[in-house]
A and B are shown apart, each in its own frame.
Chain A
């Protein structure tokens, strides 16, 4: 099983600032990496797939990069609705696995 490790666990950011989240895989997942946003009481929402491709309707302030074992997710200028938990997930191997999540909170 591929273990996905996200850092930091919590990120405190002021509105308008940049947020950078990391995700590391225990072995290469090529570019088969997705990012999700989960707001309280809601189902997760797909933001990024193939490590860097934005899903339909996702604003350009969200971006992803990386390949192999190291991935980065960036929100260029945080809006109020972006304060949430973010998960990475690999889909290169079975079983699919998620990181433990990064909570982006208001500073």
Chain B
């Protein structure tokens, strides 16, 4: 059974960096698939942030590209997201997911940007 679990601070101050980690169980990231992050502001729709392959290749949403960094740690079966210089507009539920179409999702973690 493939499971994904997001972790990280639920509160980040404006202008700081948001950092989240997704821990995968039941499947080895090294075995394949793209692994991605998707976010959803309160009451709004889904926004794809970016994806990475186990080799480290990354694809970011151009709307966030200058502020986003994704990385993978295959030894821990984890991948991570960093969003720099956050503002209130980055307040959202952040999900990690597997695949180009997301067949497995984490439960999501709410990140609030506020001083």
A34 CA to B46 CA, complexed, in Å: 13
Known: A43-B95, A43-B108, A96-B51. A91 touches B46 (CB 8 A): no
0/1 per residue, A32-56, Cβ < 8 Å to B?
Answer: 1010100000011110010000010
Say yes or no: is A95 at the interface (Cβ < 8 Å to chain B): yes
Give the chain A neighbours of B103 by CB distance below 8 A.
46, 49, 55
A89 CA to B45 CA, complexed, in Å: 11
Say yes or no: is B62 at the interface (Cβ < 8 Å to chain A): yes
B60, A46: Cβ atoms closer than 8 Å: no
Least distance between A1 CB and chain B CB atoms (Å) = 7
Interface contacts (Cβ under 8 Å), in number, total 52
A4 CA to B92 CA, complexed, in Å: 21
A98, B48: Cβ atoms closer than 8 Å: yes
Majority secondary structure of chain A interface residues (helix, strand, loop or mixed): loop
B51, A44: Cβ atoms closer than 8 Å: no
Q: Give the A interface residue count (CB, 8 A).
A: 21
Known: A1-B62, A43-B95, A91-B100. A98 touches B47 (CB 8 A): yes
Within 8 A of B (CB), among A54-70: 55
Of the candidates A55, A94, A100, the one whose C-beta lies within 8 Å of that of B45 is: A100
Give the nearest-CB partner of A1 in chain B. B62
Say yes or no: is B61 at the interface (Cβ < 8 Å to chain A): yes
A49 CA to B101 CA, complexed, in Å: 7
Give the chain A neighbours of B36 by CB distance below 8 A.
96
Give the nearest-CB partner of B100 in chain A. A91
Q: List 5 A-B pairs, minimum CB-CB distance, nearest first.
A: A34-B101, A91-B100, A96-B48, A43-B105, A98-B46
Question: B interface vs A, CB < 8 Å?
Answer: 36, 45-48, 50-51, 59-63, 95, 100-103, 105-108
Q: Add 12 more A-B contacts to A44-B105, A45-B105, A95-B59 (CB < 8 A).
A: A32-B101, A34-B102, A36-B46, A43-B107, A46-B102, A46-B103, A89-B48, A91-B100, A95-B60, A95-B62, A98-B46, A99-B45
Question: A interface vs B, CB < 8 Å?
Answer: 1, 32, 34, 36, 43-46, 49, 55, 87, 89, 91, 94-101
